[in-house]
Amino acid sequence: MHSGDLVRRGPEGLLFFEGRIKDMIKSGGENVFAMEVESALRAVPGIVEAAVFGVPDPKWGEAVAAAVVLDPSVPRPAATQVETALRQQIAGYKVPRRIAVLSELPRFQGKVRKTDLRKAWVAGALELL
């Protein structure tokens, strides 16, 4: 059976959900799970929502990119602040190379449409942090 879910077995035999296969980014031979990076982004003060996706990269195959929704009541964080906060939580190769700021994430039936984000990114239609 193939469900599209990525799981890992813990030391006691328990299964842990890591994300979806289609949400895994392969960058330079490393696997980056979007769910892990999204969780780290949401932990950064001022970021309310996050979506992480892969974008074409000539050197790495895919690069990690993100779109975030900021809390309007908090001062906008600088890109360097976000990068520093992320590097304290996740490995450097998982840190998004660029982060786009949106007023809301595109959704269909409640799910974030990462394909729409990827297309907008490639077209250069996103405002970067």
CATH number at residue 48: 3.30.300.30
Question: Once rounded to an integer, what is the mean pLDDT over residues 77-101?
Answer: 94
Is 16 a domain residue? no
Which residues are CB-neighbours of 118 under 8 A, at least 6 positions away?
53, 54, 55, 65
Is 46 a domain residue? yes
Is 5 a domain residue? no
Is 59 a domain residue? yes
Q: Into how many domains does the chain fold?
A: 1
Is 127 a domain residue? no
Is 12 a domain residue? no
pLDDT at 103: 93
pLDDT at 4: 64
Is 88 a domain residue? yes
pLDDT at 126: 84
Is 17 a domain residue? no
What is the value of pTM for the model shown?
0.80
Contact in structure between 18 and 10 (CB atoms under 8 Å): no
pLDDT at 48: 96
8-state DSSP, 75: P
106 is in which domain, residue-wise?
24-122
